[in-house]
C-alpha cells in the first residue's frame, strides 16, 4: 500500500526503480538506475507527510539523468495528473525541465525551483556529486482534511498557481537561511532515521508557507536553455571528452557544431555552470592526475598534453588544484 502511494508522486519513471525497502516506519528507500546499463544503483529516500505529497531526498554520486524522453531528447508530456514540484539544490547542480516554458532551468547550491509538471519529467544531475531535496504534491490526491490543514496556512492550489504565473509559468529563486535550515533538518531526520510524521508535516508545511508567502527571493534573471541549445552544450562536452589532449579552440569546436563561438560559450556555461575553457582545463588536469599515478610520463609531457607549453605554469595550476606539485603527487601515490 505504501509503495503505491510513493509511486503516485515519484519523480522518476517506475522502470528506473529497481528496489523498494522500508528504512524506518516513515521512510522508504528507493534504489534507482537511470538505464539497464548502469552497474550501480543510486539511492533516494521518500517520506509521505500528507496524502498526495512526497518528500524526496537524493544523494547522487555521479552525473545522471532520470526522466521520460522522446528520442532521448525532449521530455514526454503525458496526460497524467500534474504535480506541483519544489526542487531545492543542497549541493552540486541540477537541471529541471520546466513544462510551462518548454525549457530547462538550472539550480545551483541554495536555489529553489517550483513549477507544475508531470512528476516523472526529467531531472538531470549535472555534476559528479549532487545532494538535493524535492517536494512533489497534488491537491486532488489529498484528503479533505489534509487540504483543509494546508489551507489554514495559505497553501492552496490558487496560491501555487499565482506564484508560478507571476514568474511566467515557473519560479526560480534563492532560498533564505530559514528555508535552508528546514531542508537540512528534514535531511538530518532522514539520514539518522529519526523522521516521524508530525515532524515531516510541520517542516513541509513551513517550507511551502515560506515559498508561497514570505521568504524566497526570485532571481532577477533566470537562466534557461532550449532543447537545441542544451544539445549543443552536451555535444561539445562529448567532443572534449573524446580526446582532451586535442587542443581545440572554442571557435573550432563551434564550427564543428554549426554555431557561433559566443553562443557555444553561453550554452555551455548555462548547462554545466562553468566556462567551457574551465571545463576543458579540469578534464585535462584530471587526466594528468591519473597519468601521474599510472604512467611514468615526464612532467613536461603531461604539461604539453594538458595544453601548457610552459611546465612551470602547469605545475602551479596542478598545485593550486591538488595541494601538491605533480612530482610530490606522484611520490605520494606510487
- For residue 30, the model assigns a pLDDT of 77
- Bridge partners of 66? 123
Q: What is the pLDDT of residues 293-330, one digit of tens each?
A: 888 889 998 888 887 888 898 899 889 888 999 999 89
CA–CA separation, 246 vs 308, rounded Å?
12
Mean pLDDT for the chain?
81
Q: What is the pLDDT of residues 137-188, one digit of tens each?
A: 999 889 999 999 999 999 999 999 988 877 666 788 889 999 999 999 999 9
- For residue 231, the model assigns a pLDDT of 92
- For residue 77, the model assigns a pLDDT of 41
Q: What is the pLDDT of residues 249-281, one digit of tens each?
A: 889 999 999 999 999 999 999 999 889 988 888
Could you tell me the fold of the domain covering 226-333? Arc Repressor Mutant, subunit A (1.10.10)
CA–CA separation, 21 vs 24, rounded Å?
9
Q: Domain-by-domain residue ranges, the chain?
A: 2-224, 226-333
Residues 6+ apart with CB under 8 A from 54: 5, 6, 9, 10, 46, 47, 48, 134, 135, 136, 137
Of the CA atoms within 13 Å of residue 89, those in its CB half-sphere come to 25
Residue 237 has pLDDT above 60, yes or no: yes
CA–CA separation, 260 vs 243, rounded Å?
22
Handedness of CA 126, 127, 129, 135 (dihedral sign): negative
- For residue 150, the model assigns a pLDDT of 96
Assign domain 2-224 one CATH number from 2.60.120.10, 3.30.1180.20, 3.40.50.720, 2.40.110.10.
Answer: 2.60.120.10
Reported confidence tier of residue 120, pLDDT bands at 50, 70, 90: low
Amino acid at each position: 500500500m505504501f509503495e503505491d502511494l510513493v509511486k503516485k508522486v515519484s519523480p522518476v519513471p517506475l522502470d528506473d526503480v529497481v528496489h523498494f525497502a522500508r528504512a524506518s516506519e516513515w521512510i522508504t528507500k528507493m534504489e534507482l538506475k537511470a538505464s539497464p546499463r548502469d552497474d550501480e544503483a543510486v539511492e533516494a529516500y521518500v517520506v509521505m507527510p500528507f496524502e498526495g505529497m512526497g518528500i524526496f531526498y537524493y544523494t547522487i554520486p555521479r552525473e545522471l539523468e532520470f526522466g521520460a524522453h522522446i528520442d532521448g531528447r525532449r521530455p514526454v508530456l503525458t496526460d497524467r495528473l500534474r504535480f506541483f514540484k519544489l526542487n531545492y539544490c543542497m549541493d552540486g547542480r541540477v537541471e529541471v525541465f520546466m513544462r510551462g516554458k518548454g525549457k530547462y532551468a538550472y539550480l545551483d547550491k541554495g536555489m529553489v525551483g517550483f513549477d507544475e509538471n508531470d512528476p516523472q519529467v526529467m531531472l538531470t544531475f549535472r555534476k559528479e556529486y549532487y545532494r538535493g531535496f524535492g517536494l512533489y504534491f497534488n491537491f486532488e490526491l489529498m484528503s479533505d482534511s489534509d487540504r483543509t490543514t494546508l489551507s489554514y496556512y495559505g497553501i492552496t492550489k490558487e496560491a501555487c498557481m499565482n506564484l508560478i504565473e507571476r514568474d511566467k509559468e515557473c519560479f526560480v529563486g534563492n532560498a533564505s537561511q530559514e528555508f535552508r535550515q528546514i531542508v537540512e533538518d528534514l535531511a538530518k531526520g532522514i539520514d539518522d532515521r529519526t523522521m516521524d510524521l508530525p515532524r515531516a508535516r510541520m517542516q513541509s508545511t513551513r517550507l511551502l508557507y515560506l515559498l508561497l508567502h514570505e521568504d524566497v527571493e526570485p532571481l532577477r534573471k533566470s537562466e534557461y536553455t532550449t532543447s537545441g541549445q542544451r544539445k549543443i552544450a552536451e555535444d561539445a562536452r562529448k567532443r572534449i571528452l573524446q580526446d582532451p589532449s586535442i587542443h581545440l579552440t572554442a571557435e573550432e569546436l563551434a564550427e564543428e557544431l554549426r554555431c557561433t563561438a559566443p553562443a557555444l560559450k553561453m550554452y555551455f556555461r548555462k548547462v554545466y555552470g562553468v566556462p567551457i575553457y574551465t571545463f576543458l582545463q579540469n578534464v585535462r588536469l584530471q587526466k594528468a592526475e591519473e597519468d601521474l599515478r599510472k604512467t611514468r610520463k615526464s612532467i613536461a609531457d603531461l604539461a604539453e598534453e594538458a595544453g601548457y607549453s610552459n611546465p612551470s605554469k602547469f605545475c602551479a595550476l596542478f598545485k593550486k588544484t591538488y595541494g601538491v606539485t605533480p612530482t610530490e603527487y606522484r611520490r605520494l601515490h606510487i
